[in-house]
Copies of this chain bind each other. A is one copy, B any other.
């Protein structure tokens, strides 16, 4: 095995290249002992720019992952890579061509069509602005307008989770749950089917809090990190979630992507990315 070998990956796209970069990322994570260098070449829309990129990729014997909707540019990548024996993976063509066969219509072949400033795009922008406005219980009015209300004890990634769901066009408001605070009246007016309670393992919370205390230069054996206190907090949240009657998710060992997928499932909410 060639340990610590370096693999160059060229991600080439006529648009923002988000799909191809995700694939590169997923692949790299399967080879943790390998070193990678990713060359991200976005908005390549001219033949001469494409040729320059491919010539450099060839010098590095790179793996090429590409999305090119323009037929001429797409063919150029294929022919260049075949002539020069470069590995290349065309993400777009197989499914687009299958669609053309099925519908007996030609694809629009329009660059960056998924980034068009259409109704769907503006819905998403609004959802992200909604998440910013109603993050961290900033304004209780948000709970009544939200598609999803997230309640959570500290360090359950409420904010990043809210923005991830916002990217799926869901309006999300979140509220930190601490025993000292009173729960805004609005929460009791929200359909419990729209509410999710986040909890965590006490050991995980303790670890976070000890670290936080240390980073503040404080004694790490404070009330904040005290295990009894954490258990009380979790119990308070647990009882609140039961009273509300909402589903509960333990986020320990879960990424926000995984938690988001579970939330959509639990709430029976569709991923509205394309609606």
Contacts and interface: CB of A to CB of B under 8 A. Distances in A.
A191 interface: no
Scoring A96, A117, A160 by chain B CB atoms within 10 A of each residue's CB, the highest score goes to A160
Given A16-B258, A19-B22, A256-B125, A69 B30 contact: yes
A252 B218 CA distance: 48
On chain A, which size bracket covers the interface?
35 or more
Contacts of A63: 95, 98-99, 102
A114 interface: yes
A30 B67 contact: no
B30 A112 contact: no
B115 A30 contact: no
Contacts of A94: 89
B21 A273 contact: yes
Interface in A12-53: 16-19, 21-34, 36, 38, 40, 42-43
A67 B25 CA distance: 13
Contacts of A43: 258, 261
A30 B128 contact: no
A136 interface: yes
B135 A30 contact: no
Interface of A: 1-2, 5, 7, 16-19, 21-34, 36, 38, 40, 42-43, 63, 65, 67, 69, 87, 89, 91-92, 94-96, 98-99, 102-105, 107-110, 112-117, 121, 124-125, 128-129, 131-132, 135-136, 157, 159-160, 163, 166, 253, 255-258, 260-261, 271, 273-274
22 contacts: A7-B103, A18-B22, A18-B257, A19-B26, A22-B22, A25-B114, A26-B113, A30-B69, A30-B96, A30-B99, A30-B108, A31-B105, A32-B113, A34-B105, A36-B274, A42-B261, A43-B258, A65-B95, A89-B95, A115-B255, A121-B255, A132-B136
Number of copies: 2
Given A95-B63, A99-B34, A23 B19 contact: yes
Contacts of A26: 19, 67, 92, 113-114
Contacts of A121: 255
Given A89-B95, A91-B91, A163-B128, A30 B261 contact: no
